[in-house]
Amino acid sequence: MRMVLYELAGRDNFRFSPPCWRTLMALAHKGLAADERVPVKFSDKSPIAFSGQDRIPVLSDGDTWVADSFEIACYLEDAYPDRPSLFGSDRGRAMSRFVNEWTQDLLAPGLVTMLVRDEWDHVHADDRDCFRQVREQRFGDTLENLQAGRDHRVHAFRERLAPLRASLNTQAFLCGESPAYADYIVFGLFQFPRCVSAFPFIERNDPIYAWRETMLDLFDGLGRQVPSYPV
């Protein structure tokens, strides 16, 4: 079956979306790859109109399509059971769902506001006005004001990473001795700042930094195959 992945497009065909990176890592974990990767603009979701919704990524696998990175992971797990498991068990799937919600609700908002002006520099040229309008309406301030003061705010963000740091102090990956989907959830979020900003939101002596470096090396360095900042 032909597999197509629809991803958020940045400038110059640049891809930095955290949910899209989760899906790319999940596909690689399963030993799969999309036959085609279709860029979708922030302001123009017509390429995924067939799905009847506007969430990205969308995975089309033959006659089946799935939206939302977590649902895509569940689909890959169920559709390709003979390939390496993303969850390990039903309990692992349930725990991964918790990690997904923790990442989205408690980590992502703080990180996004520290990088939102830098992100604006990397969105597709056709999307810049729309992106600014949507983000400023959502957060109630200008992109510049939202990002201001991050040198101080980053300390509170690093403190919120304590559960992840504690896990990585005792094991190689969030999922134990080898990576699985919960690792890809968090990695997707941390790949985003690496792609759009030179701001060092993780200190180099943090075990999370070493974990991220290991994650970048997975699957023949898949995570390194994009332009990035040396942070």
Q: How confident is the model at residue 215 (pLDDT cuts 50, 70, 90)?
A: very high
pLDDT in tens, 112-127: 999 999 999 999 999 9
Q: Where are the alpha helices (DSSP H) in the chain?
A: 18-29, 69-79, 90-102, 108-120, 128-139, 143-147, 150-160, 162-168, 181-196, 207-221
- Mean pLDDT, to the nearest integer, of 8-35? 94
User: DSSP letters of 41-98?
Assistant: BTTB-GGGGGGTS--S-EEEETTEEEESHHHHHHHHHHH-TTSPPSSSSHHHHHHHHH
**Residue 229: pLDDT band by 50, 70, 90 thresholds?**
confident
From-to residues of CATH 3.40.30.10 in the chain: 3-79
Domain 90-224 has CATH 1.20.1050.10: yes
pLDDT at 14 (0 to 100)? 82
Q: Is the pLDDT of residue 226 over 90?
A: no
3-79, what's its fold? Answer: Glutaredoxin (3.40.30)
pLDDT at 60: 97
Summarize pLDDT for 120-178 with one digit per residue, the tens. Answer: 999 999 999 999 999 999 999 999 999 999 999 999 999 999 999 999 999 999 999 99
Please give the structure tokens belonging to residue 117: 């002006």
Q: Which pTM does this prediction carry? A: 0.95
List where CATH 1.20.1050.10 sits in the chain: 90-224
- Residue 45: how many CB atoms within 10 A of its CB? 17
Please check the confidence at residue 231 and state whether its pLDDT lies above 70: no
Determine the average pLDDT of the residues in 6-12: 90
Whether 189 and 18 have beta carbons less than 8 Å apart is answered as yes
